[in-house]
Amino acid sequence: MNDKPSDAAILAWARLMKAQRMALNAVESDLKAAGFPPLSWYDLLLELHRCGSRELRPVEIEGRLLLEQHNVSRLIDRVERSGYVVRRRCKEDGRGQLVALTEEGHALMQAMWLVYRSAIERHVGRHFDDKDAETLATLLGKLITPAVTP
């Protein structure tokens, strides 16, 4: 509780917050300008696409998207209302649901990726050469490992 971070660590923290907000705002803004829904919708569609069967249980989505149960539930609500996913009963576990990607969802995902991809390049990629991008990814990776001292 009393450990003090170095000045370098404080600066890294502050810039992590600021750089992420700026990059995310810029990318979301590009998607919106192209008439697309928020990135969170894409994230959901992509996870469903990635999993082979194109369907997942909310509890699995929860872990992959770093969202809480109720937020997953409401994200699915919105995306389902627009017809990009559907909810089905889960036969193995009566408590559970299955969320499945629709054809429209798959098409939206692909269309968004074209805009998303160029937004990543414009707002992130263009600032780094490959070596720097790798270094950045490696350093950020250290924050993603869930290792925390008890």
Partner DNA sequence: AAAGATTGAAGAGTCAATCTTG
Partner DNA sequence: CAAGATTGACTCTTCAATCTTT
Q: Which of 107, 105, 90 is nearest to 56 (CA)?
A: 90
Q: Which of 46, 51, 62, 124 binds DNA (CB under 7 A)?
A: 62
CB of 87 to its own copies, least distance (A): 26
Q: Quick check: helix, strand or coil at residue 90?
A: coil
Which residues ranging from 5 to 34 are in contact with its own copies (CB under 8 A)? 5-6, 8-13, 15-25
Select 29 or 83, whichever has its Cβ closest to its own copies: 29
Conformational region of residue 52, where left means phi above 0, alpha means psi within -120 to 50, and beta covers everything else:
left
Q: What is the DSSP secondary-structure string of 21-87?
A: HHHHHHHHHHHHHTT---HHHHHHHHHHHHTSSSEE-HHHHHHHHT--HHHHHHHHHHHHHTTSEEE
Select 4 or 70, whichever has its Cβ closest to DNA: 70
Q: How many residues bind DNA (CB under 7 A)?
A: 28
Partner whose footprint covers residue 91, from DNA, its own copies, none (CB < 5 to 8 Å by kind)? none
Contact between residue 33 and residue 75 where contact means Cβ atoms under 8 Å apart: no
Q: Which of 49, 78, 106, 123 binds DNA (CB under 7 A)?
A: 78
CB of 61 to its own copies, least distance (A): 15
Partner whose footprint covers residue 2, from its own copies, DNA, none (CB < 5 to 8 Å by kind)? its own copies
Binding region for DNA (CB under 7 A): 32, 37-38, 40, 57-60, 62, 67-78, 87, 90, 93-97
